[in-house]
Amino acid sequence: MIRQTVCALTAVACITGAAWAQDKQSIVTVVKVIGVNWFTRMGEGVKEFGAANASVATSMVGPAQGDPAQQLRVIEDLVAKKSSAIAVVPMDPSTIEGVLKRAMERGIVVVTHEADTARNTQADIEAFDNTAFGARLNDRLAKCMGESGKWTTFVGSLGSRTHMQWASGGAGNAAKYPKMALVDAHNETFDNANKAYEKAKEILRKHPDIEGFQGSSAIDAIGIGRAVEEAGLQHKTCVFGVGLPQDAGKYLETGAIDGISFWDPKDAGLVMNQVAKLLLDGKPITDGMNLGTRGYDKVSVKKGPGKGVVITGQAWVDVDKSNYKQYPF
C-alpha cells in the first residue's frame, strides 16, 4: 500500500516529494522556507540521497514564508503522521524544541542543521565552526574596506542561531581593526531579499558614510547589493555575505557585492539524510568519520547540549567576481 505524500497532506509548499510504502523508512527534510534557491539546491541533495537509497523514501517540505510559527506547524504535522525521521533546518531553534521532543518520544529520529544549541536532536550538523566562519567573512570585508570605516551586520532573524554566530564572529574579529566601527548591528531581514533591500536603504540614509555590510541570510547580500547599486555606491562600499553564486552573480559583476561565502546546500541535504539513515539503522556516529560528501569527509563529533551530538565539517567556499562561475548553482 502506498501512502499519500507528506507534501500533499500538509498545507505547505513542497519542492521534492516521494510517496513511500509503509515498509520503507521515510526521511522528511524540513527547510526554513520553500522557493529560494538555497533550499531548492538543498532539495537536489535530498533527491540524490533518495535515488541512491531505494529502501528510503525522501521528501522536502517547508513553509511558504520564513516564519518560525509556520515551520512549527509543518513539523507538528509530520510528528502526527509519524515519519521515520525528520531532518530540519530551524528558522528559530528555540521555537521547535517542544515539538522535536515529542517527535523523539514517539520514536522519530531527529536531525538538525544550523542549530548547535538544540537540545532535542540526536545529531546537529554544522558545515563548519560558525564563529570562525563569521570571522573569516569579516576578514575579507576588512581587507576590502582598508581596515577602516563604519560597517554593519544583517541577520535573517535574531532567533537564527547560526546567523547570530556569524555576525558575532564578525564583530569579534573586527575588534582587531581599531579603525572599523560597527553601527546598528543585527539588522533583521527574515530571509527576504526585499526586506534586506529596504533595510539597506534605511542604513544608507542613516549612515551615508558607511563602507561595509556583512550579511548572514542567504539572500541578504542580494538585497544589500541592490540598494548599494541603486545608490551608485558600488565602488565606495564593500558588501560580503552568505549566498549562492547564481543569485549573487549579477551584483558580483557590477561590484555591488564584493564577495560571498557559502557551503553547498545540496551537500548539507545529502549529509542530513545520511546521518538520519545511520541513526535509523542504529549505527554509531564517531569523531573523524567520513560521511561520504566533500567537506564532511573527516567530521568533528562532540557532545551536544542535550543527549545528541554536534557534527562539524569543513565545507566552506569563498568566491568573488573572479571565480564564482566555477560553482553553477
Classify residue 301 by burial, with Cβ atoms within 10 Å: 0-12, 13-18, 19+.
Answer: middle
Q: Are 25-128+264-314 and 130-262 equal in CATH topology?
A: yes
Return the domain boundaries, the chain.
25-128+264-314, 130-262
Pairing relationship of beta strands 187-188 and 300-303 according to DSSP bridges: unpaired
Residue 289's SS3 state is: coil
Q: Is 53 left (phi over 0), alpha (psi -120 to 50) or beta?
A: beta
Neighbouring C-beta atoms of residue 255, cutoff 10 Å = 18
Residue 167's SS3 state is: helix
Cα angle 43, 49, 51; round to 5: 100
- How confident is the model at residue 18, as a pLDDT? 46
E-strand spans in 117-209?
123-126, 149-155, 180-182, 187-188
Q: Which fold is adopted by the domain 25-128+264-314?
A: Rossmann fold (3.40.50)
Output the average pLDDT for the chain: 92
Rounded distance between C-alpha atoms, residue 46 and residue 43, angstroms: 5
- Judge: domain 130-262, CATH 2.60.40.4070: no
What single DSSP character describes residue 201?
A: H
Predicted model pTM: 0.78
Report which of 270, 264, 269, 275 is spatially closest to residue 304, judged by C-alpha positions: 275
E-strand spans in the chain?
13-16, 25-30, 56-62, 85-88, 109-113, 123-126, 149-155, 180-182, 187-188, 212-214, 238-242, 259-262, 300-303, 309-312, 317-319
Q: How far is CA 152 from the centre of its chain?
A: 20
- Spans of the chain, pLDDT less than 70: 1-22
pLDDT in tens, 95-146: 999 999 999 999 999 999 999 999 999 999 999 999 999 999 999 999 999 9
Q: How far is CA 218 from the centre of its chain?
A: 7
Answer for the pair 242, 264: CB distance below 8 angstroms, yes or no: no
